[in-house]
């Protein structure tokens, strides 16, 4: 279901007066409806990405993740597309991943979206990448964007120096699904783990599917540790609600869960909150299209809450209550 609403000349930065559309002003308070069960949350996440992935592609591009503008004047005006690649390169840097001339790295891209990172790792590093996502629509788009042929034969799709494949799979089942597979060199997860109800299970599964010496490479958003109730209700609650997230963790929670699963910190955690916050200035500006808010309204409370969360993201970054970090772990 295409929901393309972006205009070619949409502005790329938000104005200082926080310009909003008339419809967006009507929905300026958190709706705050909790998820009834974790399975209901998963179903809503799948539905969201099945409905909205065409919109993501048209508005934000093939990389559905934050941009990274290092606090360096020479990079502050880089495009969002370049900034998104900067984030991938930062993750490669902190995890010390590099092309292998003798044996391509086998990568599991968890929560792969429409395959932007999978394709980058294949084309630039020659990796053999398996991308998994809970969304049927995202698998369809990822395959389409990865092949120049109208017919895709076989499992893996040659792409650049490497190859990619995409599988519809609930990430919480990846440990069992890949139990008979060769162990992966890398598990890569960018801005997906925050969606998972059972984060402890993810780290155990990552340990299970990694070969000895393999690395878990991770980027995600977090709540600041030690938030008061007022700050949580104002900033974090509408983000959890609108972005379909179970309770957010703090950065140190991921480190603790990784270590409990048998992984060791390799790089980071590196807090880059200030360097990625521009993402939501750009996003808020791009979504000020009345037809988009009308579409969100037609989708019910989840659609409205999703767009409301954009404002909460900006406020959270500005207040320091919402954080972003990258990190890497290794399996002994």
What average pLDDT does the chain have? Answer: 84
Determine the pLDDT at residue 19: 43
Give SS3 for 131. Answer: strand
pLDDT digits 0-9 by tens, 235-291:
999 999 888 888 999 999 999 999 999 999 999 999 999 999 999 988 888 777 776
% of the chain beyond a pLDDT of 70 = 85
Spatial distance between the Cα atoms of 101 and 325, rounded to a whole number of angstroms: 30
Give SS3 for 63. Answer: coil
Which residues, in sequence order, are CB contacts of 160 under 8 Å at separation 6+? 119, 122, 123, 124, 126
Mind giving me the DSSP string for 79-114? -HHHHHHHHHHHHHHHHT----SSSPPEEEEET-TT
pLDDT digits 0-9 by tens, 17-55:
344 434 334 333 343 445 556 777 788 778 777 777 777
Of 14 and 84, the structure prediction assigns the larger pLDDT to: 84
Spatial distance between the Cα atoms of 297 and 300, rounded to a whole number of angstroms: 5
pLDDT digits 0-9 by tens, 109-123:
999 999 999 999 999
Overall CATH class of domain 33-331 = alpha beta
Assess whether pLDDT exceeds 80 at residue 300. no
Q: Measuring CA to CA, which residue among 55, 89, 313, 281 is closest to residue 190?
A: 89
Residue 302: phi, psi to the nearest 5? -65, -40
Spatial distance between the Cα atoms of 126 and 31, rounded to a whole number of angstroms: 45
Start-to-end CA distance of the chain, whole Å, equals 45
Mean pLDDT of 2-23: 34
Residues 12 and 80 sit within 8 Å (Cβ to Cβ): yes
The ranges assigned to domains in the chain are 33-331
Spatial distance between the Cα atoms of 16 and 216, rounded to a whole number of angstroms: 39
pLDDT digits 0-9 by tens, 160-209:
999 999 999 999 999 999 988 779 999 999 999 999 989 999 999 999 99
């Amino acid at each position: 279901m295409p929901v393309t609403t972006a205009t070619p000349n949409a502005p790329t930065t938000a104005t200082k007066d926080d310009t909003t559309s008339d419809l967006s002003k009507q929905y300026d308070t958190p709706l705050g409806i909790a998820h009834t069960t974790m399975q209901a949350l998963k179903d809503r996440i799948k539905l969201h990405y099945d409905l909205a992935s065409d919109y993501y592609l048209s508005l934000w591009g093939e990389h559905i993740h934050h941009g990274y503008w290092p606090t360096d004047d020479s990079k502050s005006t880089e495009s969002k597309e370049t900034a998104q690649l900067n984030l991938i390169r930062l993750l490669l840097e902190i995890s010390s991943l590099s092309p292998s001339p003798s044996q391509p790295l086998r990568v599991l891209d968890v929560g792969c979206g429409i395959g932007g990172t999978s394709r980058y790792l294949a084309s630039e590093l020659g990796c053999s990448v398996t991308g998994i996502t809970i969304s049927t629509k995202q698998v369809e788009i990822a395959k389409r964007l990865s092949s120049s042929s109208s017919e895709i034969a076989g499992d893996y799709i040659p792409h650049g120096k490497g190859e990619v494949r995409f599988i519809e799979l609930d990430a919480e089942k990846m440990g069992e699904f890949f139990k008979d597979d060769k162990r992966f060199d890398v598990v890569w997860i960018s801005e997906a783990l925050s969606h998972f109800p059972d984060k402890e299970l993810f780290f155990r599964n990552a340990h299970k599917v990694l070969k000895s010496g393999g690395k878990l490479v991770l980027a995600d958003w977090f709540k600041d540790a030690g938030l008061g109730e007022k700050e949580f209700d104002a900033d974090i609650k509408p983000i959890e609600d609108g972005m379909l997230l179970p309770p957010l963790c703090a950065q140190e929670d991921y480190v603790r869960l990784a270590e409990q699963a048998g992984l060791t910190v390799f790089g980071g955690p590196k807090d880059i909150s200030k360097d990625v916050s521009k993402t939501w200035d750009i996003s808020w500006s791009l979504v000020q299209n009345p037809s988009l808010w009308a579409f969100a309204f037609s989708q019910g409370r989840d659609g409205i809450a999703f767009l409301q969360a954009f404002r909460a993201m900006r406020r959270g970054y500005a207040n320091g209550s919402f954080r972003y970090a990258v990190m890497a772990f290794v399996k002994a």
